[in-house]
Amino acid sequence: MSITLGELATQFGCELVGDPSLAISSVATLSSGREGAISFFANTAYVKALASTSASAVILGASDLEKCPVPALISSNPYLTFARVALALYPDEIMSPGIHASACVADTSRIADTAHVAANAFIDSDCDIGEHVYVGPGVVVGPRCRIGNQTRLLANSTLVQDVTIGLRGIVHSGAVVGSDGFGNAMSSEGWVKVKQVGGVRIGDDVEIGSNTTVDRGAIGNTVLENGVRLDNLVQIAHNVHVGEHTAMAAMTGIAGSTTIGKRCMFAGRAGSVGHVTICDDVIVSACTFVSKDVIEPGVYTASFPAEKDKNWKRKAARFRRIDDIINRIKALEKKILK
Amino acid sequence: MSITLGELATQFGCELVGDPSLAISSVATLSSGREGAISFFANTAYVKALASTSASAVILGASDLEKCPVPALISSNPYLTFARVALALYPDEIMSPGIHASACVADTSRIADTAHVAANAFIDSDCDIGEHVYVGPGVVVGPRCRIGNQTRLLANSTLVQDVTIGLRGIVHSGAVVGSDGFGNAMSSEGWVKVKQVGGVRIGDDVEIGSNTTVDRGAIGNTVLENGVRLDNLVQIAHNVHVGEHTAMAAMTGIAGSTTIGKRCMFAGRAGSVGHVTICDDVIVSACTFVSKDVIEPGVYTASFPAEKDKNWKRKAARFRRIDDIINRIKALEKKILK
Amino acid sequence: MSITLGELATQFGCELVGDPSLAISSVATLSSGREGAISFFANTAYVKALASTSASAVILGASDLEKCPVPALISSNPYLTFARVALALYPDEIMSPGIHASACVADTSRIADTAHVAANAFIDSDCDIGEHVYVGPGVVVGPRCRIGNQTRLLANSTLVQDVTIGLRGIVHSGAVVGSDGFGNAMSSEGWVKVKQVGGVRIGDDVEIGSNTTVDRGAIGNTVLENGVRLDNLVQIAHNVHVGEHTAMAAMTGIAGSTTIGKRCMFAGRAGSVGHVTICDDVIVSACTFVSKDVIEPGVYTASFPAEKDKNWKRKAARFRRIDDIINRIKALEKKILK
């Protein structure tokens, strides 16, 4: 795909500085650019890379224009404009419609004529697969799933059962959506399984990362609202409700029945215990878990970053004797403040 | 499946309060109940929901009976009785026996006549697949596996090799059981793989969550005893031994050669280092890892829950200067207590 | 496979103590040894097991020879020699060459004559599959992948696209390599996907654990250099660069664009934030994450091991009042040191 710089400026509402006929055909970093590549500048740490960029054009803010040695698109949000340009330059491959001979589809399921069902895919009973849906090789779609138009289920992902996905979703490889939640009741003979009978309801424009797991509700649904983004190896337990446009980086884990607001962000290996409510616009830092309701937007943290082992070990040993610290202060206070 | 309340009372040994002919056909939460649904009450936080429940019947303790506006089953453990009722109301689907035409089964493997082998499944050599076993679509069963009666291997799960599973087990989608443990010996040219030659032995009534990994032993077996329950994205390393009825919530990780007792519980993202022994009846809190032998039952913890970033950062900074705290106390003590 | 002790001594450069014609056919621990088994002794904790070993021979250091009741191979690094002996005793099964009838291979891909493509595998367009490569059942190899000689892709693993793997690699079951990195730009209507257009470049002798995820680069490649070892459930984000012979234990997570040196070791559930550089020979302790550049080799730590819940809770509460500790010290200092 090749688009002129002038077309990009028009399409994405940018001021153009330079030759509108310049052909753009790829994206690049500032330093990896080649002829025909467009890059972006959004972080002053890269100002030297901008000055010596080998890209043919750069997307940047108006105030950075003078540092740019090549044609430019001016944007108030260069990274967002870059994202949109990249989507235009690299459209999703249009898969030819049809069901591969090696795929198995139950008679009671409806597959849209424009859908692509790849080799060795399996679609169980009572499913509805929408227009332009892509069902990749090795994908299993269990009974009673409904997949909205243009959604893509990538290779070897699994929808276990009773999963509804909206429009334009992406389920990455190895993800498992709709498996049983972890419900067990202790008896005198050991654990008795608590049958999980709910499903998963997923809105539009939701992306689910590789090897991520989203459990079905115990009763009722686990819910991911529109625009939710889950990275790889994330765990969403039964009956969790994730609000619109909330994003979770890799290895985040949310325990059962927790409700999360809109536009929250969980950094890597963040998480929450079960049965709590987290309001909108909460950011949970890396390796931090929420243990109770959060009612105020903002950043929440409880993790220590690595330091030299010897230093950490000494401090940790002192922390383990924090009772002694308090006692010594008390003794001093008694002596002084008596 | 529809069962009368009277039949449920008889079957599960409950006192019945209300019409024994009431037909029960589904489970529900107290607030999501519909006609024919049965719910349970086990947490006083839901007392309002009980008073206004839309369920047709509720399982509860004798002392809560007066708060219940609908027919009731009285149980000393309402959640456990609920679990048993749910299993009765939602029996596992009986799969028709047989091997799907697209499945591949090695000649040297025995598949019971009552087993169901789904589309695109693969069963390698020298396996033994028991009565009423379900092998889901895309499942791979490597060489020398033995699967006990009524065990279910769900879609796209993998038993790599030398895995023995007892009766009534469940391996959820994407789980990988029997892959190589992480054994490496450093040489002057880099890591040399330590060949893993053991297997995995799994007892009866064991459940393994989605995308969970259980490695084969380096030498000898990795073992999960009867009744073990593993949630999603759990890691069990080589030669770990997990005792009966121990449960591990999602993202728990157990390093190699660790032995865990009976009835232990690991909360989310808990874990243990390798080569330690943990006694029976130990509970490890969320985001906490065990670093040495545990010889006393009880709860073990070492995690801080999230707080406002600004507050945490200040405290963490002070912790990093804990040496200074000690030194200032020492200086004061020298002055005062001399 | 059976090899005489004499042959093993010659092949691996060990001094032999005992009968060179002794046939060795298996490996064992010191205590699980049977006739024909060889074990190793490298940890003084096992000195009793050595004295009573049931193995037919033991690999050990010269200074331990007198404690050994059976024939021995003397090595300056017994564990490494053991690893090499095990590889000799248990050679990888040689798979018969050919493409299974149920596998699908795109016309534009080249499969070496000696490669084995198992049942229900799928190889997309423009791939190059080298000599003696093993493509297991249910494996999906997406477009434009190049797999070096003798590499093995185990059952149900997925290479999404644009993945290059060198010689003798192993991708374990359920691993996903080459899926999209987590790139999102916020707009007024929610997240806009940042198209990921890079690939993954993997060197020789690299092992990738079960259900591990390695994302493709956003622009340019994610790189694992020669000899890298990743355990299960590891996350490698887009544009991470992992240096030669670096090993990561299970559940380690590395965020995007981080560069890691050679011979580093990450213990279980370790990790790093994104956009940092870690030098060679760094060890990151269990449950510890790196938050900034590391320029000095050594061990880095920031985790507290479990202790009794009651004790931990008391200390944690005192930590939360660390401001009060400081203030009380200040008050004392004011009084005393005025």
Contacts of A301 in chain B (CB under 8 A): 306-309, 312-313
- The secondary structure of residue A161, as a DSSP letter, is S
Residues of A in contact with B233 (CB under 8 A): 211, 213, 233, 235, 253
Q: Which tokens is C82 given? A: 């053991």
How far is it, in rounded angstroms, from Cα C259 to Cα A155? 29
- Contacts (Cβ under 8 Å, ≥6 apart) of A218: A181, A183, A194, A196, A197, A198, A238, A239, A256
Q: Which two tokens stand for residue C90?
A: 């248990």
Retrieve residue B223's tokens. 């073992």
The pLDDT mean for chain C works out to: 96
pLDDT band at A338 (very low <50, low <70, confident <90, very high): low
C335 lies within 8 A of chain A by CB: yes
Average pLDDT over residues C53-69: 96
Query: What is the nearest CA distance from A322 to chain C, expressed in angstroms?
Result: 6
Q: Which residue of C has its CA nearest to A154?
A: C160
Could you say which DSSP state residue B230 is in? Answer: E
Answer whether A193 sits within 8 Å of B210, measured CB to CB: no
Average confidence (pLDDT) over B122-129: 98
Statement: residue C249 has pLDDT above 70 = yes
Which chain B residue is nearest to residue A184, measuring alpha carbons?
B83
Q: Per-residue pLDDT averaged across C109-114, rounded?
A: 98
**E strand or H helix at B245:** none
Q: Is residue A94 scored above 90 in pLDDT?
A: no
Listed residue (B304, B313, B284, C314) closest to A291, CA to CA: B304
Residue A110 CB coordination number (10 Å): 13
Strand C140-141 versus strand C122-123 pairing type: parallel
What residues of C are in contact with residue A77 (Cβ under 8 Å)?
185, 187
Using CA atoms, how far residue B3 sits from B8, B27, B76, B89, C43, in Å, is 7, 12, 21, 7, 62
Catalytic, out of C238, C241, C245, C275: C238
Q: What is the pLDDT of residues C298-329, one digit of tens each?
A: 999 999 999 999 999 999 999 999 999 999 99
Q: What is the pLDDT of residues B226-239, one digit of tens each?
A: 999 999 999 999 99
Closest alpha carbon within chain A to C182: A231
Pick from B113, B146, B106, B109: nearest CA to B132: B113
Cβ–Cβ < 8 Å for C60, C44: no
pLDDT of residue B338: 64
Residue of C122, C145, C171, C264 to mutate, testing the A interface (most A Cβ within 10 Å of its Cβ): C122
Among A140, A153, A289, B237, smallest CA distance to C233 is for B237
The neighbouring-strand residues paired with C277 are C259
Task: Tell me the C-alpha distance between C226 and C241, whole Å.
Answer: 12
Confidence of residue C62 (pLDDT cuts 50, 70, 90): very high
Question: b/e for A248-286, b at 16 or more Cβ within 10 A?
Answer: bbbbbbbbbbbbbbbbbbbbbbbbbbbebbbbeebbbbb
Other beta carbons within 10 Å of C263 = 18
Percent of chain B with pLDDT over 70: 100
Whether B32 and A220 have beta carbons less than 8 Å apart is answered as yes
C-beta atoms surrounding C21 within 10 Å: 9
Chains that touch A (3 or more CB pairs under 8 A): B, C
Please tell me if residue B109 touches chain A, with a CB cutoff of 8 Å. no
- Provide the 8-state DSSP code for C217: P
Q: What is the pLDDT of residue C96?
A: 93
Chain A, 145-204: which have a CB under 8 Å from a chain C CB?
154-156, 170, 172-174
- The Cβ of residue A320 has, within 10 Å, a number of other Cβ atoms equal to 14
What are the tens digits of pLDDT across the range A213-251?
A: 999 999 999 999 999 999 999 999 999 999 999 999 999
Q: In this predicted structure, what is the pLDDT of residue B1?
A: 85
> Which of A 42-71 lie inside 8 A of C, CB atoms?
none
Catalytic residue, candidates B238, B241, B245, B275: B238
Q: Does C104 touch chain B (CB under 8 A)?
A: no
Q: Are strands A170-171 and C98-99 parallel, antiparallel or unpaired?
A: unpaired
Residue C330 CB neighbours (<10 A): 11
C195, C162, C192, C167: which is closest to C177 by C-alpha? Answer: C162
Least confident of A121-125, B129-133, B319-323, C83-87: B319-323
Q: Which residues are within 8 A (CB) of B290 and not within 5 positions of it... i.e. 6 or more apart?
A: B271, B272, B273, B276, B278, B284, B300, C305, C306
Give the pLDDT band of residue A335 (cuts 50, 70, 90): confident
Q: Confidence class of residue C338 from pLDDT cuts 50, 70 and 90?
A: low
Chain B residues with CB under 8 Å of C286 CB are 255, 273, 289, 291
Residues of chain B with C-beta less than 8 angstroms from the C-beta of C210: 160, 176, 179, 213, 215
B245 is catalytic: no
State pLDDT tens for residues B66-97: 999 999 999 999 999 999 999 999 998 888 99
Does the CB of B136 have a partner CB in chain C at under 8 Å?
Answer: no
Residue numbers in C near B250 (CB within 8 A)? none
